[in-house]
Amino acid sequence: MKGTSNNHGNAKEAPDTPTSGGSSDSVWRLRRELEQARQEIAELKRTLHRVQQIARLGYWRLSLKTSELFWSEVIYDIFGVDPKTFVPSLTAFKAMVHPEDLESVEAALIRAQHKNHHDIVHRIIRPDGEVRWVHELADYAPEGDEQILIGTVRDITEQKKLELRLRQLSRTDELTGLFNRRYFMQRLVQELARYRRYGRSTSVVLFDFDHFKRINDTHGHPAGDQVLVKVGKLLQERLRTNDIPARLGGEEFVLLLPETGPEEAVEVAEKVRRLVMEQEYTSEEKHCFKVTITCGVSAFQDVEETVEAILHRADENLYQGKRTGRNRVISDGWDS
Ligand SMILES: Nc1nc2c(ncn2[C@@H]2O[C@H](COP(=O)(O)OP(=O)(O)OP(=O)(O)O)[C@@H](O)[C@H]2O)c(=O)[nH]1
């Protein structure tokens, strides 16, 4: 037989060099296949890693029995930790979950054992202090007596920021930055439901500028706009944080005051009326001028209350304030 010499054990021979002969051939073929398989795996790993980087998506494997946690490279990147020094574990992961989201993350992990599925959006705080949003999706996969969760984590921070921005825009009045009519109406409905259930006092202060047409005519429309902007700022700065100031449209504003009875609401309206009156406004020609407002106050009265009725009463009171001289606060029985 030609070429029967067997080079097995020859250290100088390249691993891919074919040798002749039955068993040598198959060994060589096996080696070649093994090498090809290694290359394919390496290629797949590179592709998987690249795809995960592009999608900002990592994968993980958690043993619920031992709390052992495996992270793919991208997760270290998302969490802002160094794979050389950071050791992933359930405890280390939980320490990075935003404290406000920890309870729901823990509940979701417990639920996953019953539902076989884990799906949660939450925030993490990276060691550099940056808050990021992640979406975790996992399946519960029992392996013998091991309880395993295999899942993915996707960085959705940019999407979440956009979502929050859109939500903010959809509820904000463009000129003043206050809440808009739509958001105010939504909150009024919610507060009414809360009032019906828990009987918590809630009031509404509706106000409108006095002779605003004259302000526009005298000082120009931009100066009128500046008044609205300045008053919007005053409301944002000087009201309590859970009060809800909104611009209903034009020069009509409203305050939704949770946990506030009618007498206290009149005090709030008085405070706003004084603040607006004491403020100086400047036209484009640098002329200083003052403005006043008239307020109509109403409060939730009974379980039969409706949003239309409370707004109607506030509007009636405001109208009465205009009729009786402006620059005043009128409420259902507590006038000033
Ligand atoms: N600059 C400015 N003016 C506005 C805006 N929205 C409404 N106005 C003006 O506000 C004025 C409101 O006029 P009226 O409804 O007659 O009320 P008023 O002049 O304030 O008089 P009273 O409410 O009776 O005291 C109109 O001239 C509107 O053009 C706005 O966004 N910017």
List the CATH number of the domain containing 312: 3.30.70.270
Number of folded domains in the chain?
2
**Residue 336 domain flag:** no
At residue 109, the pLDDT reads 86
Give residue 51 CA to ligand 1 midpoint distance, Å.
57
Instruction: Kindly report the protein residue whose alpha carbon is nearest to atom 21 of ligand 1.
Output: 211
- Grade residue 65 by pLDDT with cuts at 50, 70 and 90: confident
Residue 113 reports pLDDT greater than 60: yes
Q: Which residues line ligand 1 (CB under 6 A)?
A: 208-213, 216, 221, 224-225, 228, 250-251, 322, 326
At residue 52, the pLDDT reads 82
Q: Are residues 186 and 216 in the same domain?
A: yes
At residue 278, the pLDDT reads 96
Q: Are residues 180 and 324 in the same domain?
A: yes
Q: Are residues 130 and 197 in the same domain?
A: no
Instruction: Kindly report the protein residue whose alpha carbon is nearest to atom 16 of ligand 1.
Output: 213
Q: Are residues 156 and 200 in the same domain?
A: no
Ligand 1 atom with least separation from CA of 294: 25
Cβ partners under 8 Å of residue 190, min gap 6: none
Cβ–Cβ contacts within 10 Å for residue 13, how many?
11
Q: Are 181 and 246 in contact (CB under 8 A)?
A: yes
Alpha-carbon distance of 289 to 287, in angstroms, equals: 6
Instruction: Kindly report the protein residue whose alpha carbon is nearest to atom 8 of ligand 1.
Output: 250
At residue 112, the pLDDT reads 83
Q: Which of 251, 270, 304, 308 is catalytic?
A: 251
Mark which of 161, 183, 200 sits at the end of a domain: 161
Pairing of strands 293-299, 288-289: unpaired
Residue 11 reports pLDDT greater than 50: no
- Grade residue 7 by pLDDT with cuts at 50, 70 and 90: very low
Q: Are residues 273 and 204 in the same domain?
A: yes
Ligand 1 atom with least separation from CA of 212: 20
**Residue 42 domain flag:** no
Instruction: Kindly report the protein residue whose alpha carbon is nearest to atom 26 of ligand 1.
Output: 213
At residue 115, the pLDDT reads 85
Pairing of strands 131-143, 252-258: unpaired
DSSP 183: H
Give residue 231 CA to ligand 1 midpoint distance, Å.
15
Among 66, 64, 61, smallest CA distance to 147 is for: 64
At residue 293, the pLDDT reads 98
**Residue 8 domain flag:** no
Q: Are residues 191 and 145 in the same domain?
A: no
Stretch 208-214: mean pLDDT: 97
- Whether the model clears a pTM of 0.90, i.e. scores above it, the answer is no
User: What CATH number should be reported for the domain holding residue 85?
Assistant: 3.30.450.20
Tokens of 263: 């007498």
Asked if 100 is an active-site residue, the reply is no
Domain coverage including residue 185: 171-331
Task: Give residue for tokens 């825009």.
Answer: 169
| 7-11, 253-257, 329-333: which is most confident | 253-257
Mark which of 108, 137, 161 sits at the end of a domain: 161
Q: Are residues 256 and 180 in the same domain?
A: yes
Mark which of 161, 187, 209 sits at the end of a domain: 161
